[in-house]
Structure 1
Amino acid sequence: MRILLVAAPGVGHLLPAVPTMWAARAAGHEILVATTGPSLDMAVRSGLPAVDVSPDGSATAGYHQLAPRALARRAEGEHTTEGDAAVQWQGMTSAFGSSWSTVRDHRPAEDADFLASLFAVSGRMIDGTVRIARDWRADLLMFTSFLAAGEIAATAVGIPSVLHGMGLPHPPATGLLGVLDDVATRHGVSGRLEPPAAVVDLCPETLRPPRSARGLPLRYVPYNGGALLSDLVCAVPRRPRICLTMGSVLPGAGADEVVQAAIAVAAARDAEVVLAVDTPDESIRHRLPSNVIMSGWVPLSSVLPDCSVVVHHGGSGTTFTAFAHGTPQLVLPRMADQPLNADAVRRGGAGVVLAERDLDVATLTDSLDHVLGAEEIRRGCAAIRAEIEAMPGPAALLDRLAELAPPSPEVRGGDPGRRDGATVSRPGTASGRS
């Protein structure tokens, strides 16, 4: 089987699917990653064959504008409150089933704009995705959440698609496809999109949002890329270790004031602090306390097992890596799906969440001390970790996915240069396909 994985430019969309792709290759399947920007580089660094489906840089440029625009809108308008998380999920679910206008009725305007913009950015990858899916003759198109190149490209080529989750379940974004009517029309699929044949679901039942549908269960396998680790990070700590990270987007998007406040609070503890922030403000580097290790981008799966707490922004990758390792969390959500992930931490009893309006030194200090000392939080983390470990692994998932893909053209006896009536060219032979 040939699996084409299509991922948005942000590495947080790609990383949860990398272990699935490794398992597919180990099982004898052929895989190819279709992406662009930071995800393209990460795919190659992860040992996966990849192709750039937006070589003009338009999708990458649009992606890099998302976080600064979202933070600017939040500074000008209303802030997400603790009670908004459930409303956000309801609005998101409604939007996926109806229209984008429904999102605006139920979510803060800046969050709605973020998702619409992300969807539009990924739309710039559709032409390249359709082209490579036909030329490479993919049997199955797997795509990540909020990616417009999923249903549109798969329907245009005539192959089944599968939505690969990132953490919490995000329903197929059928209702948002109207944002890209022009693209769908250009590929002849307007009004007749095929929904995903399956949804890969990484969410344990304890954390499942109300009224969210279940998909094919898959154990979350933490993968955060590779890096050269320092001896200090590798050593088992002799006192509590605190990891501080703001993911791959926020540090370069004007969130340095959050990083500075969190560093000040964490460094004041009798603890070792791993600052896993890629590009913090230069003024921070020159005045770090002696108990702070500046690690830069580091695989969290290599750090969190020895951490007493992780302080972070609420990105899905960081949140679920902490869940998988049973690490208590202090979450400071700012935008996009971060409040939803933070709400899962709260509901699962795995940590403390601070709304943006509460990000002052006194509140940060009290919250961090509580997470460090709360036995009930450690019990909640252990329970979630055990639940994740009991979920099926990638090998079981691949058996299910193989049932979705049609037999290859050679098996069907058809023309291997055609798919769904479209003539394509492909160098070489098709021998060795599974």
Structure 2
Amino acid sequence: MRIMLTVWPQTCHLYPAVPYAQALQLAGHEVVVACPPGAADDIVAAGLTAVTCGEPDTSGWVRDDLPPDPEEMERLATALQVTQDERDTWDVFFQYYLMGVRFQLPRVPSAQNKALVEFARTWRPDLVLWDPWFPAGAVAAKVAGAAHGRVLMAPDYSGWAVELYARQATPPVDPLARAVRPLAEHYGVEVDSELLVGQFTIDPMPREMRLSRDLAAVPVRWSPYNGGGVKPSWLYDKPRRPRVALSVGLSTRAYHKGEWRAPKIFEAVADLDVELVATLNADQLEGISSIPSNVRTVDYVPLLQLLPTCSASINHGSSGTFWASVAAGVPQLVGDTDEPQRVIVVDGENSKMAERNILSKLAIAYLESRDAGLRLDHQKQSVEEIRAAIVTALEDPRYRDGAAAVHQEWLDRPGPADIVPTLEKLTAMHR
């Protein structure tokens, strides 16, 4: 088969999809990864064929149609009867997911998206796998006559929203359909639920973290991929004392200076007999006046190299860091707060966001239900409370056992290579 994978051109979207592309390629299929400029080097480094569509986008994040409209958000939440339990999911969908979709799908179809569709029409893939945050892939699939499915990089916010709208007798305007419509109508493609959520979904989320309930899903094990790298010599030997990783991912570096959680965490570990490895760059360390002697700061080290040497992981709950920690079988301490998810434009190109990751609540709820993790709230917890949580994660066998059980559940799911026959059957069914 010919298979086209298309994603938002950032590592946090590309890396989760790489194992599926590699598995399909190793099974003998012809695979390309086609997306706007920005990811070609990482695609090639993964041993995959890159197709760059269009020229780099020089427009910034703050455009007239990008910042979320708080009045529309509240109006739609009321019309859709969003419950209190669903409120955080709705906020993430409206504040973050839709803004990302609108960024890649402007009101006037972009040259990048036209190039993607034209490549698909020319190359004629049998199957298109697409990033839910980049639904131009669905339009490309329909124009090319290909089967198509989504690859989840996070819980299924768009699938949840489509199901939410489907429950309404008289649904209000759908902002996701509104965002996809200009590109779809440019090519004469109908905007229906299949275009918005695919014919099936590759879903690595455990049942407790699934947001959509009725969509056709292909369960799979999330296979962490960080790219390659030379192993630093200090990771060769076992650490002499418990090692704890602090990672808040790479994508936040593009939007923020400073790191909200680090000052209290550094102070909390200063008097402990542990080694904290903080993967923070100079921008993230800005404003921190002193670093304890038992804290090692490194700009970057692949988590697949670092975490197997650790006894615990402190992270922000994003998919990449969360699953790398699950794969390492270590207890997690996940940063989370009680604040609502909001994006507020401050001035020009600057925006203010909540001091928690959009996935943190789902991640820590899952871990706490398994006794595999503890919640850290840097806004409300004292240094002493954070220190106590770190000690508990390291010393209480309940959390080591819980993390081991979560690790085993992860291992029990089918890997990327195991779902290749299913993808072949689904392609034949939908073509």
Q: Under a length normalisation based on structure 2, what TM-score does the superposition of the two structures give?
A: 0.77
Match of 2:300 in 1: 297
2-side partners of 1:326 and 1:166: how far apart? 20
What are the within-5 Å matches in structure 2 for residues 180-259 of structure 1? 180-192=180-192, 194=195, 195-205=197-207, 207-208=209-210, 211=213, 215-252=217-254, 253-259=256-262
Q: Answer whether contact 2:200 2:216 (CA < 8 A) is retained.
A: no
Aligned to 2:57: 57
CA distance in 1: counterparts of 2:22 and 2:179, whole angstroms: 33
Structure 2: runs of 5+ lacking an equivalent = 71-82, 163-173, 337-355
Q: Name the amino acid aligned to 1:112.
A: F
Partner residue, 2:134 = 147
Within the candidate set 416, 422, 425, 1:394 is matched to: 416
Is contact 1:326–1:385 with CA below 8 Å preserved after alignment?
yes
CA–CA distance in structure 2, aligned partners of residues 251 and 264 of structure 1? 22
**Identical amino acids, percent of aligned pairs:** 28
Equivalent position to 2:103, from 111, 121, 126: 121
Alignment equivalent of 2:388, drawn from 366, 381, 398: 366
CA 250–91 in structure 1, closer or farther in 2 if over 3 Å, else same: closer
Q: Deviations over 1:380-403 (max 9, x none)?
A: 111111111111122221111112
Call closer, same or farther: CA 1:361–1:285 in 2, change over 3 Å.
closer
* CA shift in 2, pair 1:371/1:404, >3 Å: same
Per the normalisation by structure 1, the TM-score is 0.77
In the aligned structure 1, how far is the partner of 2:104 from the partner of 2:216?
A: 25
Which is richer in helix?
A: 1
Separation of aligned partners in 2, 1:163 and 1:180: 15
Note closer, same or farther for the CA distance 1:301–1:89 as it changes in structure 2 (3 Å cut): farther
Secondary structure of the residue aligned to 1:379 is helix
CA distance in 2, matches of 1:349, 1:122: 39
Cα displacement (A) at 1:229: 2.6
**CA deviation map 1:176-197 (0-9, x unaligned):** 2322322221121143554522
Q: Over residues 107-137 of structure 1, what are the superposed CA-to-partner deviations in whole Å (9 max), with x where a residue is unaligned? A: 37xx622221111123255323212212222
Partner of 2:121: 134
Does the 8 A contact of 2:37 with 2:53 survive in 1? Answer: no
Measure, in 1, the Cα distance between the counterparts of 2:128 and 2:62.
22
SS at match of 1:235: coil
- The alpha-carbon distance between structure 1 residues 404 and 214, as it changes in their structure 2 partners (threshold 3 A), is closer
Using the TM superposition, give the Cα deviation of residue 247 of structure 1 relative to its aligned residue in structure 2, in angstroms: 0.4
Partner of 2:352: none
Corresponding residue number in structure 2 for 1:156: 143
Residue aligned with 2:202, SS = strand
Q: Distance in 2 between matches of 1:210 and 1:362?
A: 39
The equivalent of 2:22 in structure 1 is: 22
Matches within 5 A, 1:26-45: 26-36=26-36, 39-45=39-45
Q: Shift in Å at residue 36 of structure 1?
A: 3.8
Shift of residue 249 of structure 1? 2.1
CA offsets 1:317-375 (integer angstroms, 9 cap, x no match): 11111112211111114142333223222233221123453254233222222222222
Match of 1:315 in 2: 318
Query: What amino acid sits opposite 1:62 in the alignment?
Result: W
* CA RMSD between the two structures: 3.3
Give the partner amino acid of 1:227: G
Q: Is the 8 A contact 2:334 2:375 kept in 1?
A: yes
User: Whole-Å Cα distance in 2 between the matches of residues 121 and 210 of structure 1?
Assistant: 24
What CA distance in whole angstroms lies between the structure 2 residues aligned with 1:298 and 1:214?
37
For 1:8, what is the secondary structure of its paired residue? Answer: coil
- After superposition, the Cα gap between the structure-2 partners of 1:28 and 1:352, relative to the gap in structure 1 and judged at 3 Å, is same
The Cα shift of 1:406 comes to 4.6
Q: For 1:381 and 1:274, locate their aligned partners in 2 and report how far apart those are by CA, in whole Å.
A: 20
Provide the C-alpha distance between the structure 1 equivalents of 2:152 and 2:62, rounded to a whole number of angstroms. 19
Report the CA distance between 1:226 and its aligned residue.
Answer: 1.9
CA distance in 1, matches of 2:317, 2:118: 35
**Aligned equivalents of 2:222, 2:210: Cα separation in 1:** 14
**1: CA distance, partners of 2:303 / 2:53:** 29
CA contact (8 A) 2:200 2:215 kept: no
Question: Is residue 219–residue 393 contact of structure 1 (8 Å, CA) maintained in 2?
Answer: yes
SS at match of 1:178: helix
Say if 1:284 and 1:230 are closer, same or farther in 2 by CA, change over 3 A.
farther
Of stretches 202-211 and 113-122 in structure 1, the one that deviates more from structure 2 is 202-211
Q: Quick one: which amino acid aligns to residue 148 of structure 1?
A: P
